[in-house]
Amino acid sequence: MRDGQENPAARNILVCDTTLRDGEQTCGVAFRVEEKVRIARLLDEMGVDCIDAGFPASSQADQEAVRGITALGLRARVVAFCRPNRAEIDLARSCGANAVYTFVPTSDVHMRVKFGGDGSEVRERLKREMADGVAYAKSLGMFVGCGSEDATRTPYDYLEEVLVLAQESGADLVGVADTVGSSTPDDFRTLVSRLRARISVLLSLHCHNDFGLATANTVAGILGGADEVQCTVNGIGERAGNASLEEVTVALTQLYGFSANVDLSRLKPMSDLIAGLSRIEVSPMKPIVGGNAFSHESGLHVSSVMRDPTAYEPLRPELVGHTRRIVIGKHSGKSIVSHVLDAHGLSYDDGVLGEVLREVKRVAVLTKSSVTEAQMVGIYHERIANPV
Ligand code: MN
């Protein structure tokens, strides 16, 4: 356990997946309604606690998606994203939503850009509208979340004032968004723990990855006392994306010892599905789900991994639905050559091994690629037939 402040095992972290809403806001991504319904069903089966199903005010298609997903009667809470005004809350409700995640911009820059000022007049108006919207949604019997947009660039006292007001207005959950991904783990943990001292309802985190810190910031916020993480499959989302479901759930449960309801063995299949439907390929180096996440080529690594995978794997690939892969190429060593030749029932001595390995490396460099088992067997037969 990394954190001496608490016993993480005592806490179950809630996971809210926003692939269908914030994830779809990725440039160039558009899921069809039937795809969203299918993804939502799978997210539910996977065990996420909450599904952000869409922003009804943004499009007819989002309205249809929210309708389709709420109609499934999932175990997960299905939330519609909206601004805290009666029209958008009514619209969310007309789409079947029993839960809304509302948001209000709180940073000076967002208030200036969106409302023409950051003075007390704008602040008071936004607070009034937020409080009214939250209370209205509560009066309809909905589960109500209310988050601060751009919370991490908001003066702390004002942020706390807004979120405490949201709580007092009846919000069941308040959210903190690192909207442009510019917080740091230290700052974010401090921010969340200060808010935690004032917020008794659920506290949710929404981090972006502009500096590659979305996962680290999300974890830090949980250590600061938050209850829920918002994330997307493969970390898709605007600009550099959101905190990734895979990284966050695996880090929190495997490194920190928190519990979560997500079935980790579904992470890789889910990642493949979203990569396909979003038409955004996952980097081979992506933690947990990338093609290389459990691949080994270098001779020293391969010979160790073949004896005991834990030598170079911090996780079992099966845990996350992935598979181990031994790649043959320029960095290979003799152990993989003998392994393949044995598997094919071929006889050899040390000289032949060295010979085949040299040719494998030469071909790999020449083609700037890996070499398949079949190619290696081919090389073996050529060398045996035409020894140098
Ligand atoms: Mn976002």
CATH of the domain at 159: 3.20.20.70
pLDDT at residue 275, rounded to an integer: 98
Residue 105 lies in a domain: yes
Alpha carbon distance 38, 29 (integer Å): 16
Closest CA to 18 of 38, 45, 39, 33: 39
Backbone angles phi, psi at 118, to 5 degrees: -125, 20
Which stretches of the chain are DSSP H helices?
33-46, 60-70, 86-94, 108-115, 120-139, 156-168, 185-196, 214-223, 245-250, 267-278, 299-307, 334-343, 350-367, 373-385
Give CA–CA dist 241/180, Å, rounded: 10
Looking at the structure, do residues 121 and 168 belong to the same domain, yes or no? Answer: yes
Residues 107 and 253 in one domain: yes
Q: How far is the CA of 80 from the centre of ligand 1 (A)?
A: 14
Going from the Cα of 370 to the center of ligand 1, the distance in angstroms, rounded, reads 39
Same-domain status, 116 and 196? yes
What's the predicted TM-score (pTM) here?
0.94
Torsion over CA: 330, 332, 334, 336 (sign): negative
Residue with tokens 């032949």: 352
Q: Are residues 348 and 250 in the same domain?
A: no
How many domains does the chain divide into? 2
Q: What is the 238 CA–ligand 1 centroid distance (Å)?
A: 7
- Do 238 and 140 lie in a common domain? yes
pLDDT of residue 5: 55
Q: Which residue numbers in the chain have pLDDT < 70?
A: 1-10, 385-388
Residue 219 DSSP SS3: helix
pLDDT of 9 reads: 56
Same domain as 207, residue 138:
yes
Q: How far is the CA of 349 from the centre of ligand 1 (A)?
A: 59
Look at residues 262, 283, 304 and tell me which one is the last residue of a structural domain: 262
Residues 216 and 331 in one domain: no
Are 194 and 156 in contact by the 8 Å Cβ rule? The answer is: yes
For residue 304, the tally of other CB atoms under 10 A from its CB is 16
Asked whether the beta carbons of 282 and 234 are under 8 A apart, the reply is: yes
* pLDDT (0 to 100) of residue 7: 65
Do 331 and 194 sit in the same domain of this protein?
Answer: no
Residue 287 resides in a domain: no
CA 149 to centroid of ligand 1, rounded, Å:
8
Query: Residues 375, 235: one domain?
Result: no
DSSP conformational letter for 308: -
SS3 of residue 103 by DSSP = strand
Ligand 1 center to 328 CA (angstroms): 41
> Domain range spanning residue 362?
295-385
Ligand 1 midpoint to CA 8 (Å) = 27
Q: Evaluate whether residue 242 is within a structural domain.
A: yes
Domain boundary among 262, 286, 320: 262
Centre of ligand 1 to C-alpha 255, Å, is: 25
The verdict on residue 67 lying in a domain is: yes
SS3 of 173, please?
Answer: strand
Looking at the domain assignment, is residue 221 inside a domain? Answer: yes
